[in-house]
């Protein structure tokens, strides 16, 4: 698998072996040492937060040698590295994961106990960094974990935002309130800021001709300083690097202005520069047309490309960059880093004097593009004027790329009107997805269905012209964090069932559990693990949200970003209809299946209908949870601030998972994989990776409902009238009427009028059309749940057959289909 190529010289001769693991006593001493010399507290003075920092630094020290060795092998060996360019990395808490991967969990537990602390309190003291919005950022984190675990040399490149995704709370009316998430308030022991390996990133100005050469004269520059995070592989002895850039000013302070008492003006340059890495855009699958966003994208991509040249050609003034694509292949995670294509062209032509064709050859070989969406509005399109203002040289290059592209299409015999549709540069806009598709070697979608729809619809013209570029890599999740750490009870049971823990690095081994689904005793043990997880979640919910949850109810969860296409409104309408049926006594005492419904979802701050949906869920929750008539039968909780920590606690406790997006809208989903791997059954549509999950776990172990992509398309074409569905199903009609008549707004009929109007007149994602089949399938769900042994057998089969959804497998697919590289030699 490794890509050998000529011209590699050994540059670093001394390679240090990784330190051998320590005893618990030694590890306790290391923590004491950190407390003393870096925290400057005695063990008696130390708080859990002190011990957390000290233990983190001690683990980091253990990883240092393997990190150096991995870097040396990466630069000196003959294995092409992977550069994963991503505006988001949603890492989750680091300590527990680092301990696991460094093989130090037991030593840590014993060591902190010896110091008089509970291991859980130390782990909990970590503040979760929220440097991503949702699935896309978490996927990036899973991927770099898997690459390190597979021993593949890789760099994650992104931005160290000062403020991550906002913290979500709800006000007394149930409305979402966003507060800034300043995650760096306390000492953060994982990132190492490396001022000596900074890069200059410039903006604005103009392009002039000097001696027949285009020369960019930028107007202003910022200093990109790397903050390095270690990415330890699980049992691989490899530690890769996540390099997140932070923006610093070159002009700290304008002394002249200060001396004139213009204090605010004095810090302006600093503020302007540092703004670039200040905040993560709280958007997920929606378009933002912000200048600052383009600055952020260019900032981290330019710094990363220069950094890769520094790393692979150290100290060379005139490196042979024709070998660059053999040293590193860059994956563009969505359209956010696509400005990297013209940037590499500019670097090669302007900074290293390559001619256009050579530069283009290198660039096209260097990049690949992953598309994560089917929503046209999520494919970024930048006004050409904005690019021209901020990056004038890049706009010139983009125009030239577009000319070359149009010529190439003409040569291929592509029709003029098709070329017109495909233009990268339209005269007033630049389409980043098109630039990425043309400018790289491969394009992939993130689930089979999604990749097919990219070829058939979203990027059809491109797939017709360049069929070989297109491929699929279905997403995956890391089993280390999302099974081993999140669900230790299930992990132990899997290990017991398989007689080995090798499944943690080869998740296909879960297949070995299939025969155990016939063993009632094993299924009962599996059920007991789920019950124990529910019990733990009850305590977690009490501690974190102050709510009382009845563990003897079906735990039914829908957690993901709030978006109309994901259809949280479909779920809440069903809950309301179930409530109405209970109130009217339509369900007999024997028929009642007690349920607790959990929602978790952040809405983009400017997304009105999404925020109104949150408010509705909160107020439905208030009414239902306070209604003595349904006590013990139905409860609804909208849990605030859905994040990785909540996922790690709630997913293992969930029995029924909701994946109910409109078919053809969710690119993949990764929550669906986490739930299946933790033994929840899914109720879902044929969308995204649900399709493959159902194939793998078996149609009989998945609750399918709703229209298919073709049926959705046909209904759009025929003219969709949601009111028809409202009239046709009394359950739906009743639910919507209850929302409209003020039942959940103290009689105020206006409170949800915009939502009701949207449902009845527009309902773009056809929640109403799918309502009846969704409501109908509940009877099947409830019937099965009444037979715990059968339910758990099916849940166990979900676990056993979901090994495919490991991000290790995703990485192997990328390596084979796209990157054409592999692990470092031992
Ligand atoms: O919405 C998609 C998810 O379906 C997918 O699982 C995830 C990772 O591939 O990416 C999400 N996504 C897409 N987040 N932002 C975008 C915008 O393109």
Q: Distance between the two ends of the chain, CA-based, in angstroms? A: 14
CB 670 less than 6 A from any atom of ligand 1: yes
Selecting among 370, 670, 682, 743, the annotated active-site residue is 670
**Interval between CA 333 and ligand 1 midpoint (Å):** 10
Q: What is the pLDDT of residues 472-518, one digit of tens each?
A: 999 999 999 999 999 999 999 999 999 999 999 999 999 999 999 99
Residue owning the nearest CA to atom 14 of ligand 1: 136
Kind and range of the H or E run holding 555 = strand 554-559
Contact in structure between 27 and 164 (CB atoms under 8 Å)? no
The answer, yes or no, to whether any atom of ligand 1 lies below 6 A from the CB of 666, is yes
pLDDT score, position 63: 97
Kindly report the backbone phi and psi dihedral angles of residue 225, in degrees, each rounded to the nearest multiple of 5, phi listed first. -110, 130
Across 137-145, average pLDDT: 98
- Residue 181: both structure tokens together: 């998430």
The reply to whether 566 belongs to the active site is yes
Residue 107 sits at φ, ψ, to 5 deg, of -60, -40
Helix (H) / strand (E) element for 818: namely none
What residues form DSSP beta bridges with 167?
179
Atom 3 in ligand 1: residue holding the nearest Cα:
669
Pocket-testing residue among 472, 607, 667, ligand 1, by greatest number of atoms within 8 A of Cβ: 667
Residue given tokens 């009846």 in the structure block:
772
- Asked about 290 being catalytic, the answer comes back as no
What does pLDDT average to over the chain? Answer: 95
**Main-chain dihedrals φ then ψ at residue 431, nearest 5 degrees:** -95, 110
Q: What gap in Å lies between CA 152 and CA 317, rounded to an integer?
A: 28
Domain 24-475+811-819 matches domain 550-805 at the CATH topology level:
yes
> What are the structural domain ranges in the chain?
24-475+811-819, 550-805
Q: Which two tokens stand for residue 344?
A: 């590499």
By alpha-carbon position, which residue is closest to atom 8 of ligand 1? 136
Right CATH number for 24-475+811-819 from 3.40.50.2000, 3.20.20.480, 3.30.70.20, 3.90.550.10?
A: 3.40.50.2000
**Cα(483)–Cα(240) distance, integer angstroms:** 22
pTM of the model: 0.96
Q: Is the CB of 334 under 6 A from ligand 1?
A: yes
- The ipTM assigned to this model is 0.99
Average confidence (pLDDT) over 647-666: 98
In sequence order, which residues have a C-beta less than 8 Å from that of residue 663 and are 6 or more positions away? Answer: 685, 686, 687, 706, 707, 708, 709, 711, 712
The active-site residue, picked from 167, 223, 394, 560, is: 560
Q: To test the ligand 1 pocket, which listed residue (338, 373, 693) has its Cβ within 8 A of the most ligand atoms?
A: 373
Q: Is 561 a catalytic residue?
A: yes
Catalytic residue flag (residue 272): no
Mean pLDDT calculated for residue range 707-731: 98
Closest ligand 1 atom, CA of 371? 18
Residue 80 appears among annotated catalytic residues: no
For 759, phi then psi, to 5°, come to: -60, -45
What is the reported pLDDT for 19?
A: 54
**From the candidates 561, 602, 694, 696, which is the catalytic residue?**
561
The CA distance from 424 to 399, in Å, is 8
- CB distance 655 to ligand 1 below 6 Å: no
Confidence of residue 266 (pLDDT cuts 50, 70, 90): confident
The bridge status of strand 154-159 relative to strand 81-85 is parallel
Give catalytic status of residue 530 as yes or no. Answer: no
299's tokens:
């900032």
pLDDT digits (tens, 9 = 90+) for 334-378: 999 999 999 999 999 999 999 999 999 999 999 999 999 999 888
Class of domain 550-805: alpha beta
- CA 492/CA 665 separation, integer angstroms: 37
Instruction: Work out whether the CA dihedral 420, 426, 432, 437 comes out positive or negative.
Output: positive
Q: What mean pLDDT is predicted for residues 425-436?
A: 98
DSSP tag of 167: E
Of ligand 1's listed atoms, the one at least distance from the Cα of 688 is: 4
């Amino acid at each position: 698998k490794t890509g050998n190529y000529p011209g590699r010289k050994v540059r670093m001769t001394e390679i240090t072996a990784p330190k051998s693991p320590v005893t618990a006593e030694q590890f306790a001493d290391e923590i004491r040492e950190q407390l003393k010399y870096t925290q400057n507290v005695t063990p008696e003075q130390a708080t859990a937060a002190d011990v957390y920092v000290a233990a983190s630094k001690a683990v980091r020290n253990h990883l240092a040698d393997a990190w150096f060795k991995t870097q040396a092998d990466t630069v000196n060996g003959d294995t092409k590295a992977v550069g994963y360019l991503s505006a988001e990395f949603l890492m989750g808490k680091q300590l527990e994961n680092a301990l696991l991967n460094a093989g130090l969990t037991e030593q840590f537990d014993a060591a902190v106990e010896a110091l008089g602390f509970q291991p859980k309190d130390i782990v909990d003291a970590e503040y979760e960094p929220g440097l991503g919005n949702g699935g896309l950022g978490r996927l990036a984190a899973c991927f770099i974990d898997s690459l390190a675990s597979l021993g593949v040399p890789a760099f994650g490149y992104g931005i160290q935002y000062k403020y991550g995704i906002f913290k979500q709370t709800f006000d007394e009316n149930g409305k979402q309130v966003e507060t800034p998430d300043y995650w760096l308030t306390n000492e953060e022991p994982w990132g190492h800021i490396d001022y000596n390996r900074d890069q200059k990133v410039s903006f604005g100005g103009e392009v002039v001709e000097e001696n027949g050469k285009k020369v960019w004269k930028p107007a202003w520059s910022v200093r990109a300083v790397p903050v390095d995070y270690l990415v330890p592989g699980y049992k691989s002895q490899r530690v890769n690097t996540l390099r997140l850039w932070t923006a610093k000013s070159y002009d700290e302070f304008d002394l002249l202005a200060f001396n004139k008492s213009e204090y605010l003006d004095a810090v302006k340059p600093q503020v302007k520069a540092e703004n670039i890495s200040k905040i993560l855009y709280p958007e997920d699958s929606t378009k933002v047309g912000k200048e600052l966003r383009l600055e952020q994208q260019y900032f981290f991509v330019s710094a990363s490309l220069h950094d890769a040249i520094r790393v692979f050609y150290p100290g060379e003034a005139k490196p042979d960059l024709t070998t660059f694509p053999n040293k590193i292949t860059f994956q563009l995670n969505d359209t956010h880093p696509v400005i990297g294509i013209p940037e590499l062209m500019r670097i090669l032509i302007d900074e290293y004097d390559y001619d256009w064709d050579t530069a283009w050859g290198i660039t096209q070989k260097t990049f690949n593009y992953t598309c994560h969406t089917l929503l046209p509005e999520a494919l970024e399109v930048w006004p050409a004027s904005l690019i021209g203002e901020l990056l004038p040289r890049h706009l010139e290059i983009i125009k030239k790329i577009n000319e070359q592209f149009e010529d190439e299409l003409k040569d291929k015999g592509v029709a003029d009107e098709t070329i017109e549709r495909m233009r990268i540069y339209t005269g007033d806009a630049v389409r980043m997805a098109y630039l990425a598709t043309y400018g790289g070697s491969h394009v992939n979608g993130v689930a089979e269905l999604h990749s097919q729809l990219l070829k058939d619809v979203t990027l059809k013209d491109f797939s017709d012209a360049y069929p070989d570029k297109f491929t699929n890599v279905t997403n995956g999740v890391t089993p280390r964090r999302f099974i081993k750490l999140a669900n230790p009870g299930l992990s132990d049971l899997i290990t017991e069932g398989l007689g080995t823990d090798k499944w943690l690095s080869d998740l296909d081994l879960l297949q070995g559990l299939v025969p155990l689904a016939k063993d009632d005793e094993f299924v009962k043990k599996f059920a007991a693990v789920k019950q124990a997880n529910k019990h733990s979640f009850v305590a977690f919910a009490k501690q974190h949200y102050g709510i009382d949850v009845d563990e003897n109810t079906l735990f039914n969860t829908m957690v993901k970003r709030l978006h109309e296409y994901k259809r949280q409104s479909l779920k809440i309408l069903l809950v309301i209809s179930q409530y109405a049926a209970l109130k009217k006594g339509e369900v007999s005492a024997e028929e009642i299946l007690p349920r607790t419904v959990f929602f978790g979802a952040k809405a983009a701050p400017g997304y009105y209908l999404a925020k109104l949906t949150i408010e509705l869920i909160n107020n439905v929750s208030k009414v239902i949870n306070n209604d003595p008539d349904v006590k013990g039968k139905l409860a609804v909780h909208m849990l605030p601030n859905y994040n990785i920590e909540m996922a790690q606690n709630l997913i293992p406790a969930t029995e029924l998972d909701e994946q109910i997006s409109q078919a053809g809208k969710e690119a993949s989903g990764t929550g669906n994989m986490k739930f299946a791997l933790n033994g929840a059954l899914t109720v879902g549509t044929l969308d995204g990776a649900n399709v493959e999950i159902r194939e793998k776990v078996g149609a009989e172990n998945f609750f399918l409902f709703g229209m298919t992509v073709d049926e959705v398309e046909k209904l759009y074409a025929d003219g969709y009238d949601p009111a028809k569905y409202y009239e046709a199903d009394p359950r739906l009609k009743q639910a919507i009427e209850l929302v409209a008549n003020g039942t959940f707004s103290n009689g105020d009929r206006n409170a949800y009028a915009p939502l009701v109007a949207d449902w009845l007149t527009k309902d773009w994602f056809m929640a109403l059309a799918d309502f009846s089949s969704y409501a109908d399938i509940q009877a099947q769900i409830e019937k099965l749940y009444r037979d715990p042994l059968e339910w758990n057998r099916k849940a166990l089969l979900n676990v056993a057959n979901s090994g495919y959804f490991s991000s290790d497998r995703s990485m192997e697919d990328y390596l084979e289909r796209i990157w054409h590289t592999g692990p470092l030699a031992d």
